[in-house]
Amino acid sequence: MSDENKTGGQESEPRPANDTPPPTREAELEVELKKVKDQLLRAVADAENGRRRAERERDDVRRYGAVGLARDVLQISDNLRRALELVPAEARKASEVLDALMVGLEAAEREVLAAFEKNGIKKVMPLGERFDYNLHQAMFEAENTGKPPGTVVQVMQPGYVLHDRLLRPAMVGVAKGQPSDQPPVERVDERA
């Protein structure tokens, strides 16, 4: 053997025909460039997905962040309505002080309802509508109402939605199905 082969010089042995030449530095750089480009595209896509997710979360907080406060204020609205319904019209006519108090309560209720409207809170008053388990909570079934089965015949407490989310279901009474006009079918015991 020559000194060149021992010291790592050029190869003197011929390569087989099916053997591919070792990759050149340029080919290695192209492979590395493709790899880095792929990683960069993935990182950009991840960053864009993160930005969209953060934007959705920010919008949700803006739209629904006050759900707890809204539910608490619903109780105030309910109590105002109960107070207004408690005092008969005759008592208001008999007492100027009571009438003035009721006028103030009515104004407060209007302001609360206007604030609800302004902030996307809508009242659900489903009287006469078809029962919807997404918005209503059935408290009882009423017979002989003359309404089709599943129709809301009484609203015990209104429900509320914030934009498209349910804050509180409406508590309702629902028409019960009417008994069939046909007599019941007799069962025949085939064992006899």
Summarize pLDDT for 133-178 with one digit per residue, the tens: 999 999 999 998 889 999 999 999 999 999 989 999 999 999 987 5
Residues 161, 163, 165, CA angle at the centre, nearest 5°?
Answer: 55
Q: Which helix (H) or strand (E) holds 172?
A: strand 170-175
Summarize pLDDT for 105-129 with one digit per residue, the tens: 999 999 999 999 999 999 999 999 9
Tokens of 114: 């206007």
Q: pTM value? A: 0.63
When pLDDT is cut at 50, 70 and 90, the band that residue 184 belongs to is very low
Domain boundaries, the chain: 120-178
Instruction: Name residue 166's beta-bridge partners.
Output: 161
Summarize pLDDT for 65-79 with one digit per residue, the tens: 888 888 989 999 999
Q: Which helix (H) or strand (E) holds 173?
A: strand 170-175
Contact in structure between 139 and 173 (CB atoms under 8 Å) = yes
Determine the Cα–Cα distance for residues 160 and 136; give it in Å rounded to an integer. 10
For domain 120-178, is the CATH number 1.10.510.10?
A: no
Determine the Cα–Cα distance for residues 140 and 125; give it in Å rounded to an integer. 17
